[in-house]
Structure 1
Amino acid sequence: MALTHVPLLASVILLCVCSGCVTAGGVSLRADGSPGPQECPEKALEVMRVLHLNVGDGSIVELDTNQTDTSPITLYDGPVESMLDKSLGPLPPVTRLYGRVWTGGPQVVIRYYEAHVPDEEPMPICAVARLARGQMLKKPESKPGTAIVEFSRAGVFVVNSFR
């Protein structure tokens, strides 16, 4: 009798594995490959309230600590370690920001989910990297899964959800 459920279970597993609309982190992707909206976890919102980090607070970040002061730089789909160049509220320069890079759309999208102040425990946050005037646009020579961008630094801004 249990064998009658095997095809159904196999179909459900196959559907979940083959679903291309959600990344491993649970973020839905738009048609162009850029990430869709995502809520900021309640724990991150709580930590940001305690730290007095408000939506729109910003600083400067080195996008990839392995490519500091380089131009242009190549970013890859997946995890990224960035570093604050200037304080962001109570977070001092050299604080590491950990997040994810998406290169599928016309410009790079970087979302940060964690901050790590030296000699302290990592803490959840929600922030994004941004540059004005299209400076996060990928260069035409970027290959799939990568983005070549002109600058190694960008603005980083606190958000309460990702849009």
Structure 2
Amino acid sequence: MHTARTLLLTSTALLAFSTGCIGSGVALRPDGSPSPQECPEESKKAMRYMGLRVGDSVLVDLDANQTESRRVTFYDGPIESVTREEFGPFAATSRLYGQVWTSGPQVVIRYYEAQSPTGEKVPLCAVARLGYDQMRKLPESKPGTAILEGSVAAAFIVDAFR
């Protein structure tokens, strides 16, 4: 059973990666933030198999290289976040991989893959969220960057990026 599950998740991850769903080619809105994007069917299947449902969430250190920081600077491009607690089949300290956009009024982070400390990468669809405008860039953010207060947010499972 364990071997079949690993094979299914690995092949699903390879299919998702080969179809280019890792954040590349996302159309941008006039303010530079990403346009809506569908969650690939392969990711939806993997999330169902792992028991992750829309709305499930986990606390994450937004940037694995800036944990416990009072202020975090983001750049457009790839990101690696770290879970602070168990999340479905993922242990604490699992990794979420995705893409950051800093051009709009707030930072947008979309996650496309997850990896447990001892496992393979698997596809998923999740977004980083904070209430009270806390994903809004600080005024001193320069073009191509975004500075936020704090380094922790919640990552929420989604079925589409809006």
Q: TM-score, normalised by structure 1?
A: 0.84
Task: Kindly state the Cα deviation for residue 86 of structure 1 after the two structures are TM-superposed.
Answer: 1.2
For structure 1, which runs of at least 5 residues remain unmatched after alignment?
1-23
Task: Kindly state the Cα deviation for residue 80 of structure 1 after the two structures are TM-superposed.
Answer: 0.4
Between the aligned partners of 1:127 and 1:138, the Cα distance in structure 2 is: 20
Deviations 1:130-161 (Å, cap 9, x if unpaired)? 00000000000001110000010001100011
The residue that corresponds to 1:56 in the other structure is: 55
Name the count of aligned residue pairs: 140
Q: Tell me whether 1:42 sits opposite 2:37 in the alignment.
A: no
Secondary structure class of the residue paired with 2:44: helix
Q: Tell me whether 1:136 sits opposite 2:135 in the alignment.
A: yes
* 1:4-153 equivalences in 2 (<5 Å): 25-153=24-152
Task: Kindly state the Cα deviation for residue 119 of structure 1 after the two structures are TM-superposed.
Answer: 1.7
- The CA RMSD over aligned residues, in Å, is 0.9
Task: Kindly state the Cα deviation for residue 89 of structure 1 after the two structures are TM-superposed.
Answer: 1.8
Task: Kindly state the Cα deviation for residue 63 of structure 1 after the two structures are TM-superposed.
Answer: 0.4
Given that residues 91 and 117 in structure 2 are in contact (C-alpha distance below 8 angstroms), is that contact kept between their aligned partners in structure 1?
no
- Identity score, percent: 58
Q: Any runs of at least 4 consecutive aligned residues in structure 1 with deviations exceeding 3 A, and if so which?
A: none
Q: TM-score, normalised by structure 2?
A: 0.85
Secondary structure class of the residue paired with 1:65: coil
Between the aligned partners of 2:133 and 2:85, the Cα distance in structure 1 is: 22
| Higher Rg of the two aligned structures | 1
Whichever residue aligns with residue 40 of structure 1, its letter is C
Secondary structure class of the residue paired with 2:42: helix
Between the aligned partners of 2:60 and 2:94, the Cα distance in structure 1 is: 9
Whichever residue aligns with residue 97 of structure 1, its letter is L
Secondary structure class of the residue paired with 1:50: helix
The residue that corresponds to 1:161 in the other structure is: 160
